[in-house]
């Protein structure tokens, strides 16, 4: 089964349910068995674990967006969206549908994840040892063109056509199922090993190509289940550590976020921000919805 590359975050704040007016008697459903009003729906929703978590997500998104949202630009979100969309090819719309998600909701989820990353980055102390290791493993900016094939056989046929001296443009137009970068014949924006939107399998294959013009001679299977053919268009020299220190810091934070062992630490960081902003839940039924975050990282008396 294909899964979204939702990004990096252990705790994803998507926002799906809609909290309605508590006092509304508007009818949501009628039947021979009776009706359901907005007020009835809200009463049950607030009692449910899904409703409690949704409320927590709404609070967290609101507070973090206010504090760190300016660090995430529209172009950051769009670039991440385009790159992930390209990796799904013609299956993107059906994948959205199977996840009950629209493009705008997906973009919102990407934005929220990027904001959480900024919040954690601002509250996570990165050691020099971590920076040194990240730099040692770093691979510089690389530009590739990519064919997203409909299946493995098509990917193999595309490679066979390239070996028969057909041009990349011809082969790309014949076999790709993704049109995101059609104007550039499948060329993606440059990326390096700190990228969180380019499939790790695509990154690995791209970094293993040694010469401009080289292409993968066997299909690359991505984590989404898609098959790719990749051509190296451009590479650069490895920059100095100081010039990419911020990028390396982002990568360290991203890895910290994806490690499920750090879930409680992430919650503690979010809780610290919420407490600083004096979050106070007024509704009795939702009073404990944020306890996981607000109490995280606080030592018990005597400890």
> What pLDDT, in 10s, does the model give residues 226-240?
999 999 999 999 999
Average predicted confidence (pLDDT) for the chain:
89
Q: Is residue 192 situated within a structural domain? A: yes
pTM of the entire predicted model:
0.68
Show the domain range for 210. Answer: 139-237
Domain count for the chain: 1
Identify which has the larger pLDDT, 47 or 303.
47
Q: Is residue 183 situated within a structural domain? A: yes
Flag whether pLDDT at 10 surpasses 70. no
Q: Is residue 156 situated within a structural domain? A: yes
pLDDT for res 5: 42
**CA–CA gap between residue 199 and residue 195 (Å, rounded):** 9
Tell me the pLDDT tens digit for each residue of 34-73.
999 988 998 899 999 999 999 999 999 999 999 999 999 9
Flag whether pLDDT at 140 surpasses 80. yes
Q: Is residue 70 situated within a structural domain? A: no
Q: Is residue 205 situated within a structural domain? A: yes
Flag whether pLDDT at 4 surpasses 80. no
Beta carbons within 10 angstroms of residue 8's beta carbon: 21
Of 109-113, 200-204, 234-238, the poorest mean pLDDT is in: 109-113
Kindly state the helix (H) or strand (E) to which residue 206 belongs, with its residue range: helix 200-208
CATH number of the structural domain spanning residue 189: 3.10.50.40
Q: Is residue 154 situated within a structural domain? A: yes
Q: Give the tokens for residue 295.
A: 């109490």
Counting Cα atoms < 13 Å in the Cβ hemisphere of 47 gives 6
Q: Is residue 101 situated within a structural domain? A: no
Closest C-alpha to 117, from 1, 303, 246: 246
């Amino acid at each position: 089964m294909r899964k979204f590359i939702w990004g990096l975050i252990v705790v994803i704040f998507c926002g799906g349910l809609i909290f309605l007016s508590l006092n509304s008697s508007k009818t949501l459903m009628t039947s021979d068995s009776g009706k359901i009003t907005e007020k009835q729906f809200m009463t049950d929703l607030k009692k449910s674990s899904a409703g409690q978590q949704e409320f927590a997500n709404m609070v967290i998104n609101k507070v973090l967006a206010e504090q760190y949202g300016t660090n995430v630009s529209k172009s950051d979100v769009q670039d991440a969206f385009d790159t992930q969309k390209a990796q799904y090819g013609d299956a993107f719309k059906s994948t959205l549908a199977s996840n009950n998600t629209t493009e705008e909701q997906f973009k919102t989820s990407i934005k929220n994840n990027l904001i959480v990353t900024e919040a954690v980055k601002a509250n996570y102390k990165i050691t020099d040892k971590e920076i040194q290791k990240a730099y040692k493993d770093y691979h510089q900016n690389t530009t590739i063109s990519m064919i997203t094939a409909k299946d493995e056989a098509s990917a193999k046929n595309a490679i066979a056509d390239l070996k028969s001296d057909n041009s990349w443009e011809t082969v790309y137009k014949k076999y790709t199922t993704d049109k995101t970068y059609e104007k550039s014949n499948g060329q993606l924006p440059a990326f390096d090993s700190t990228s969180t939107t380019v499939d790790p399998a695509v990154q690995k294959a791209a970094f293993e190509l040694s010469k401009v013009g080289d292409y993968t001679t066997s299909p690359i299977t991505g984590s989404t289940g898609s098959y790719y053919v990749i051509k190296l268009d451009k590479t650069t020299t490895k920059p100095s550590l100081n010039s990419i220190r911020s990028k390396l810091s982002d990568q360290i934070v991203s890895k910290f976020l994806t490690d499920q062992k750090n879930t409680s630490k992430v919650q503690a960081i979010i809780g610290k921000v919420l407490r600083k902003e004096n979050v106070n839940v007024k509704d009795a039924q939702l009073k404990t919805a944020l306890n996981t975050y607000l109490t995280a990282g606080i030592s018990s008396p005597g400890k």
